[in-house]
Amino acid sequence: MEIFTGSSTPLVLGGSHKTLWCVGYRNDSTTKNHLPTFRTAPRISPNPICRLAAFFQNPNGALPPQPQNKTKISHQPQLISLLMAHCVQVDPSFVQEPEHRPKAAISDADGVPLIDLSPLFSDSAGNTIPTTLLSQVEVACRDWGFFQVINHGVPLEVLKKAEAAEKKFFALPEEEKLIVRRDEANRFGYYESEHTKNVRDWKRIFDFVLQERLDVTGLVLKNRWPEVPLDFRETIEEYAKYVEKLAFIVLELISLTLNLPPKRLNAFFEEQTTFVRLNHYPPCPYPDLALGVGHHKDSGALTVLYQDSVGGLDVKRQSDGEWVRVKPMPNSFVINVGDIIQVWSNDKYLSAEHRVSVNTLRDRFSIPFFFNPASNIDVKPLPELVDDRNPGKYKEYNWGEFFKRRMDSDFKKFEVENIQIDHFKRA
Ligand SMILES: O=C(O)CCC(=O)C(=O)O
Ligand SMILES: [Fe+2]
């Protein structure tokens, strides 16, 4: 290892091609204020493998004094060992491009709208849905593409049991989880190496579908269940049943806000390709470089997500392009519009960009329910919502093929960006 200093950066640490190092604090004894921020080094080093520079925000940390500019310090063993004591190994497959790395502080002020669904469950609810509730849903889908719901009808006990089962599963030894690891032939089960936009995510997942079938597009929708924890399958299938009810309720509310009959969209979901994902985001020693899930939009119709109290889900606010944190709220769900609703609504509603930030100290768990239509559905703007003055903005595409192409990129690192909804946008 060689250590160089450069004129514009305090430190650049080299390594081999496969092993990059940068200076950082270890997890223990770290507080937020002591965290360094990492940036990719400008090309100041003649050595192409010297790629990472570390900028220490807090000079009170136990760091050596700054070496003189442009001095090669690899001959100073004491200095090197002191630096090494503060090194974390960076796996380059997790490193995001500089423009996608999270800033140190993410605001949660002016966060996503919160909608109370209790009017739908009260005794006096009858068949009428308050217009105030509908307009809240409409504004949230239009301005944010994201909202949180409380009093949603899913019992707290069901949520808590699912969260406990999820934690138990991820706590199993790796070799036990690998028994149900997904592969190219069967895409459901455990996976620890998912990529979003060709960068590896700092997470582990377990996926299962609501309806198993050998699909027409050649996608095998078949679950793999672990034998332990014993009540795992039963618990999370029960959770999924409740969340499915909530997903249909939200779908009907959205139909109403589009001036359509409440069940207008339901038929698309009779043979749904919905799947549920359990996410575990372990603590990450370089949260300024990696993400739990890279920036993306969900490709299905709707996502209904339960998150624990740690926080990390960031949404790109439509109004100003700022990333804001979706503040965890006990006993709530986060709902977001996916690409399909964006297309059905002919861009009235937007599928918002989001990502997951990680942290150095706490494990985070979440459970998204990806509400997806049948694979044979051809997605296009709904005929009721287009006319000569407002022509359809998307060409028709087949959901099953789109879904399969997206899943393929979970296995291979493509050189180019995988299929996106914008590819179907009319000029
Ligand atoms: O874990 C989260 O909060 C969000 C995960 C997510 O966006 C996804 O899996 O698509
Ligand atoms: Fe997502």
User: pTM of the entire structure?
Assistant: 0.83
Question: Which residues does a 6 A CB cutoff place in the pocket of ligand 1?
Answer: 277, 279, 293, 298, 305, 307, 313, 354, 356, 366, 368
Nearest to 299 by CA among 370, 207, 203: 370
C-alpha 247/C-alpha 304 separation (Å) is: 7
Neighbours of 4 (CB within 10 A): 22
* Total length of the chain: 427
- Taking phi over 0 as left and psi of -120 to 50 as alpha, with beta for the rest, 346 belongs to left
Task: Provide ipTM, 2 decimals.
Answer: 0.99
Hey, which of 195, 314, 366, 372 would you mutate to test ligand 1's pocket, going by the most ligand atoms within 8 Å of its Cβ? 366
Q: Which residue's CA is the nearest one to ligand 1's atom 9?
A: 368
**H or E element at residue 84:** helix 77-84
Strand ranges for 152-219 from DSSP E? 189-191, 195-196, 199-200, 204-209, 213-214
Question: 3-state class of 369 per DSSP?
Answer: strand
Q: Give the helix, strand, coil percentages of the chain, each rounded to 5.
A: 25, 20, 50
Report pLDDT digits (tens) over 227-260. Answer: 999 999 999 999 999 999 999 999 999 999 999 9
Q: Would the pLDDT of 56 be above 60?
A: no
Q: Which residue's CA is the nearest one to ligand 1's atom 10?
A: 298
Tell how far the Cα of 361 is from the centroid of ligand 2, in angstroms.
23
Report pLDDT digits (tens) over 78-109. Answer: 555 555 554 566 788 888 888 898 886 777 77
Tell how far the Cα of 40 is from the centroid of ligand 1, in angstroms.
26
Q: Which atom of ligand 1 is nearest to the CA of 334?
A: 3
Q: Which residue's CA is the nearest one to ligand 1's atom 7?
A: 355
